[in-house]
Structure 1
Amino acid sequence: MVMSMTGFGRSVKQTDKCMVQVEIKTVNHRYREFHIKMPQQLSQAEIPLRNQLSKQFNRGRIELNVKLSGNISPGKELHIDWGLLDSYYHFIKEAKIRYRLTEEATLSDLLRMDNAVLVEETGDIDVEVLPLLFGAAEDAADQVLKMRETEGNSLSIELDTYISSLEELVQKTKELSPMVQKTYTERLRSKLYEMVKENIDETRIVSEAAIFADKADISEETARLLSHISQFREALIASGPIGRKMDFIIQEMNREVNTIGSKANDSNIAIMAVEMKVLIEKLREQVQNIE
């Protein structure tokens, strides 16, 4: 089955306490690449989220955006630097003696000291948030996959049309190929007759024609090209990621067509080679968006 790499999905999950919105957008890419944006307090969920999405997407650039709203208070911890507080306290006592101060050091004085008492977020996620996050991500991914499947079906029809047209051109080229030697032989005989105006050495003509036929023979190229077309059709109905395989097959098809165009030495075959290259380029453009 042909799957496109382009898709979009959005899902919102909420409770009375909070709401999580997940948007997933995928575009074509040579490999699988994740770009995830989410609130800092959800950062510890990024790796599990990647693992979940990796089971659903084999190839492409996956852009995921998470929005969190509601009454969600991250866990907090109190960090006290007792060594620093001791230093502050001893400093206050020494300053009091040195400058003959009467004020006593209070607890509020110590708490105002920089970096002595810190309140830090623990990074723990509210127990209600994770199920919402993973549920929304799964629903959004399902929407993306459906869109990719729909577009993949359209691509499959288009690719089948192109590959059928290419196969017709290859068959016509194959049929024309034997005529090239015959045309060359007749043209050679005609030119020799114009030059010598007498009996022509048929043995020489046959020899020259055989040499030309060997150089202009494209039977192997057309056979391989038809084989590549058959492999391409098999890939169209195969399961799993097929984009890279198709891209490789297209490279090989292009190689064979280039050889046909350079070897055939015939204007009609040269024209068909150009038409084949146009179709192959259309195939290449579409295959770039297949998973």
Structure 2
Amino acid sequence: MAEELPPWDRLVCLLTKALELFYNGVTHMVMSMTGFGRSVKQTPTCTIQVEIKTVNHRFREYHIKMPQQLSHAEITLRNQLSKHFSRGRVELNVRLTGNISSRRELHIDWDLLDSYYHFIKEAKGRYQFSGEAMLSDILGLDEAVQVGETGDVDDDLITLLLSAADEAAGQVLKMRKTEGSSLSNELESYINLLEDLVRKTKDLAPLVQETYTERLRSKLKDMMQENIDEIRLMSEAAIFADKADISEELTRLTSHILQFREALLSSGQIGRKMDFIIQEMNREINTIGSKANDSNIAIMAVEMKVLIEKMREQVQNIE
């Protein structure tokens, strides 16, 4: 397993990547899961309208409503949509109006015709009827020979449907990119605030032991009314310092912040990764709040948790 880079080296790599994206004209990589698009296509005889709405979802989920005549194209339509959307709930609604020409086909119940034919032959022998059973007699049996609609439509209309779906999906993606940019900027502001709180907490951490030592010294002086046992004092202070040490949690929290920034500059499905990082951040902040045993650090921890919840809410909308 490759050794993880120190935080400073990772920060340098992150800044380098950001500069590369900037010079290549890439402004943001975050994609929202919320969007809407509509496309209308017409032929001389009919009009087809496709509307696509996407919202956040843990996985990719399709909800497609379309006329019965187009239902056989649903699998093809799903495969085409999969090229555009990798995560989220995709709701697609198709409206078809006008004069839609459908194919007609002949439906024959051969078992019924066989029974009918054998009945005619048997009746002729039993009752000595003359004449032969004519083809027109058999074809005139409505229950056995029927002409109906197949429900299918011409392939040109299916092509028009797929074209409209592509156009609507393009509008959805445009909206998702725009909202993704806003989400990215908002998350960037939150992560900056969180980083500032972590920096302040790091500055406060060494003072916790000093404050505890002085408080303990004062209590011992009041109790003993004589010279304080400095060895015992230092021993108690050392035990407290070990229990209240939050340096590891702060280091891991700093690392998670860097990982979150890296995710903001990544492409693809980054929403789940961000959600996992936020969970780890929350875990470290909870530990910091419980271990520090300091009111000022406890306040910092509460402020950090508020930011984490705001970030979590926004990350739920990221693909």
TM-score range, shorter chain: over 0.9
**Aligned mates of 1:57, 1:162 — CA distance in 2:** 27
**3-state SS in 2 of match to 1:13:** strand
1:17 to partner: Cα distance: 2.4
**3-state SS in 2 of match to 1:200:** coil
Name which of 81, 85, 91 aligns with 1:57: 85
**Deviation string for 1:225-264 (max 9, x for gaps)?**
1111111111112122210110010000000000000100
Q: Does 1:6 align with 2:34?
A: yes
Q: Is the 8 A contact 1:18 1:129 kept in 2?
A: no
Letter of the structure 1 residue corresponding to residue 56 of structure 2: N
**3-state SS in 1 of match to 2:147:** strand
**Deviation string for 1:153-209 (max 9, x for gaps)?**
111111111111111111111110000000000001100010010111100111111
**Aligned mates of 1:86, 1:241 — CA distance in 2:** 61
**Aligned mates of 1:204, 1:177 — CA distance in 2:** 23
Letter of the structure 1 residue corresponding to residue 191 of structure 2: I
**Aligned mates of 2:318, 2:220 — CA distance in 1:** 56
Which residue in 2 is equivalent to 1:223?
251
Q: Does 1:162 align with 2:190?
A: yes
**Deviation string for 1:98-152 (max 9, x for gaps)?**
89999x9887775564641233444543032022111100110010011111111
Which residue in 2 is equivalent to 1:238?
266
**Aligned mates of 1:245, 1:197 — CA distance in 2:** 59
Which residue in 2 is equivalent to 1:43?
71
Q: Is the 8 A contact 1:3 1:148 kept in 2?
A: yes
Normalised by the size of structure 1, how large is the TM-score? 0.92
Count of residue pairs brought into register by the alignment: 291
Instruction: Return 5+ residue gaps in structure 2 as ranges.
Output: 1-28
**3-state SS in 1 of match to 2:36:** strand
Letter of the structure 2 residue corresponding to residue 155 of structure 1: L
Q: Does 1:74 align with 2:102?
A: yes
- For 1:268-279, what aligned pairs fall within 5 Å after superposition? 268-279=296-307
Identify the range of structure 1 (141-150 vs 123-132) with the bigger mean alpha-carbon deviation: 123-132
**Aligned mates of 1:24, 1:30 — CA distance in 2:** 18
1:46 to partner: Cα distance: 1.1
What RMSD, in angstroms, separates the aligned Cα atoms of the two structures?
Answer: 2.2
1:18 to partner: Cα distance: 2.2
**Aligned mates of 1:276, 1:82 — CA distance in 2:** 77
Name which of 271, 274, 280 aligns with 1:252: 280
**Aligned mates of 2:161, 2:249 — CA distance in 1:** 54
Name which of 192, 200, 206 aligns with 2:234: 206
Letter of the structure 1 residue corresponding to residue 59 of structure 2: Y
Name which of 193, 196, 204 aligns with 2:221: 193
**3-state SS in 2 of match to 1:75:** strand
Q: Is the 8 A contact 1:13 1:136 kept in 2?
A: yes
- For 1:111-150, what aligned pairs fall within 5 Å after superposition? 113=141, 115-150=143-178
**Aligned mates of 1:86, 1:135 — CA distance in 2:** 47
Instruction: Return 5+ residue gaps in structure 1 as ranges.
Output: none
**3-state SS in 2 of match to 1:199:** coil
Q: Does 1:22 align with 2:50?
A: yes
Which residue in 2 is equivalent to 1:280?
308
**Aligned mates of 1:256, 1:183 — CA distance in 2:** 23
Which residue in 1 is equivalent to 2:26?
none
Which residue in 2 is equivalent to 1:87?
115
Rate the CA distance shift 1:264–1:112 in 2: closer, same or farther, 3 A: farther
**3-state SS in 2 of match to 1:128:** helix
**3-state SS in 1 of match to 2:155:** coil
Identify the range of structure 1 (240-249 vs 125-134) with the bigger mean alpha-carbon deviation: 125-134
- For 1:87-106, what aligned pairs fall within 5 Å after superposition? 87-91=115-119
Letter of the structure 2 residue corresponding to residue 189 of structure 1: R
